[in-house]
A and B are shown apart, each in its own frame.
Chain A
Amino acid sequence: MVDFFIGLFLASLITALFTTRLYRLLVWYSFNSLTLGVLALLIGIKIDDNAMLITGIATIVIKAIAIPYFLKSFSQKFHFIRQIQPNIKIQYAIILIPAILVFTFYLAKPITHMIANNSNYVAISISSLFLSLLLMMEHKNVAPKITGFLSMENSLFLLGITATNGMPMLVELGIFFDLLMAIVVINLLFRREEMKNA
């Protein structure tokens, strides 16, 4: 079952790479976070770790619901451009994405021998890290770049829960706090811009 969700995680990220609409992108991001949260819950139940359950629930609440909602409300408040055409042409993306995947899978091969359980997931989280970087690179607008940053956070989180069976509780909560702080700063950055235009 964990395999299934990890597949969904990567699948939603790849689909996000091809998206040309902002709201659709947010939906995919939210779905991505949702699968992440479910994964955390599943692994948490499997290894009987309460901290992981809490982070799973926090992921679902914060990343899958709150942050996409905030971003959507920002986009309405500050009139983002909602058509987000990737800079990289689709023909090249079709070649580039599998190339990245193959590269990262082989890159992660030596690591997978060193981690006892869930070794494959390390490869997938590294590749999703690269794909999120690609998501940041292929867009000129700010909003998809933010989404790319957030999904990068997601893939790091995936690495955290799969490679290490969860980081210490305090650290994970701190990361969530920082994420919310990032959202606040993003909001402020947009707000000033609007005041100047007005």
Chain B
Amino acid sequence: MIFYITTIILLLLLAPILLSFIKSLKMLLLFKRPAPLLQGYKNFAKLMQKETIVSQETSSITTYAPFLVLSPLLVTMFFLPPIVHGAFYVSFVDAFTITGLISLSTFFLMLLGLDSASAFGGIGSSREAFISALVEPAMVLTVFSVSMMAGDLGIGQAGVNLAEHFPKEHMASFLFAGISFFILLVAENGRIPVDNPETHLELTMVHEAMILDLSGVYLAIIETAASVKFVIFASLFVSLFIPVGLEYSAPIAILIFIAKLFGVAIAVAILEVNTAKLRLFKVPNLLGISIVFAFLSLITFYVLGA
């Protein structure tokens, strides 16, 4: 139980750091002076002190939507696969639940965007709906296919099974699922080929457009939610697709886990530096690839058993 709690706290603490890490790594790669790693915390502290202004056009949704954005993600954190051998984990939560919780959070985010009644909120929400409609089937298929390979529908159990005996004979379908999931990770967290989190350019904004009207505490919560979402995806990715290191003793296993998370962050940062943002109507191409791979992974597993 202690490891269970520790893991969740660790992930929560790591969440802002990971995003700041990606940012500073990108700046480093672009020969800029990198931002400090604790920038996420600094932003959080600053936003907490700031005054919270709510537009008069909004309804009561704006006041509680930020909490509803964050809370499903926080719940999801309890269902993640364990990172230490023998730790407590929730074994019965399957692909549909996780996807559902994440899209619940997205739903409230979209509602928040619409509620401010500004033009930006509207486009942001509609784009987000467009993207997440494509992300969800792929996500369900991918996670489902991996859990099939692991021999258990529950994600926590699947992570454990994968770590204990890795399905070498299903390497091909495993690879397809991995590719698909990585694309989802990029798309769902608004990273560069899909959305650029750093600009406020109306042509490209998705995530930023929805939260343009927020300030103060609400903004802090939404930013936290974004980082938590990234850490959820990253930890799902590493525990499902890079299932190594669980067999060591607790401190080493945790260190390995953190290293893997940073590895994912490095991969995302390198991808962001090397690719241009896609036009919004090209995004389905990318997600289409993801869906095809997810499906491919499933049928390769079922039909060929490879």
In the complex, is A directly touching B at CB under 8 Å? yes
> Measuring CB to CB, which residues of chain A are less than 8 angstroms from any residue of chain B?
1, 3-4, 6-8, 10-11, 14-15, 18, 20, 90-91, 93-94, 97-98, 101-102, 105-106, 109, 112, 120-121, 123-124
A18 to chain B, nearest CB (A): 5
Check B285 for interface membership: any CB of A closer than 8 A.
yes
A117 to chain B, nearest CB (A): 13
> Measuring CB to CB, which residues of chain B are less than 8 angstroms from any residue of chain A?
168-176, 179, 284-285, 288-289, 291-293, 295-296, 299-300, 303-306
Q: Are A11 and B176 in contact (CB under 8 A)?
A: yes
Q: Given the interface contacts A94-B291, A94-B292, does A4 sit within 8 Å of B175 by beta carbon?
A: yes
Q: Given the interface contacts A11-B179, A101-B299, does A123 sit within 8 Å of B173 by beta carbon?
A: no
Q: Are A6 and B292 in contact (CB under 8 A)?
A: no
A74 CA to B98 CA, complexed, in Å: 50
A20 CA to B282 CA, complexed, in Å: 10
Contact of A105 among B168, B171, B304 (CB under 8 A): B304
A11 to chain B, nearest CB (A): 6
A56 to chain B, nearest CB (A): 19
Q: Given the interface contacts A120-B305, A124-B304, A124-B306, does A3 sit within 8 Å of B170 by beta carbon?
A: yes
Taking CB atoms, residues of chain A closer than 8 Å to B171 are 1, 3-4, 7
Taking CB atoms, residues of chain A closer than 8 Å to B299 are 98, 101-102, 105
Contact of B289 among A6, A7, A8, A14 (CB under 8 A): A14
Taking CB atoms, residues of chain B closer than 8 Å to A20 are 285
Taking CB atoms, residues of chain B closer than 8 Å to A94 are 288, 291-292
Taking CB atoms, residues of chain B closer than 8 Å to A109 are 303
Q: Are B306 and A98 in contact (CB under 8 A)?
A: no
Beta-carbon nearest neighbor of B291 in chain A: A94
Interface residue SS majority, chain B: helix
Taking CB atoms, residues of chain A closer than 8 Å to B176 are 7, 10-11
Interface residue SS majority, chain A: helix
Taking CB atoms, residues of chain B closer than 8 Å to A120 are 172, 304-306
B249 to chain A, nearest CB (A): 29
Q: Are A3 and B295 in contact (CB under 8 A)?
A: no
A92 CA to B295 CA, complexed, in Å: 15
A77 CA to B281 CA, complexed, in Å: 32
Beta-carbon nearest neighbor of A109 in chain B: B303
A-B residue pairs, 9 tightest by C-beta = A3-B171, A7-B172, A7-B175, A120-B306, A105-B303, A94-B288, A120-B304, A4-B171, A98-B295
**Interface core residue of A1, A4, A7, A102 (most chain B CB under 10 Å):** A7
* Beyond known contacts A3-B172, A6-B306, A20-B285: 8 more, CB 8 A cutoff: A3-B171, A14-B289, A15-B289, A18-B289, A105-B300, A109-B303, A112-B304, A121-B306
B63 to chain A, nearest CB (A): 39
Q: Are A10 and B306 in contact (CB under 8 A)?
A: no
A71 CA to B289 CA, complexed, in Å: 25
A10 CA to B175 CA, complexed, in Å: 10
A158 to chain B, nearest CB (A): 13
A121 CA to B291 CA, complexed, in Å: 22
Taking CB atoms, residues of chain B closer than 8 Å to A15 are 289
Beta-carbon nearest neighbor of A4 in chain B: B171
A10 CA to B304 CA, complexed, in Å: 14
Q: Are B296 and A18 in contact (CB under 8 A)?
A: no
Beta-carbon nearest neighbor of A2 in chain B: B171
Q: Are A90 and B285 in contact (CB under 8 A)?
A: yes
Contact of B306 among A1, A3, A18, A91 (CB under 8 A): A3
Taking CB atoms, residues of chain A closer than 8 Å to B291 are 94
Q: Are A102 and B284 in contact (CB under 8 A)?
A: no
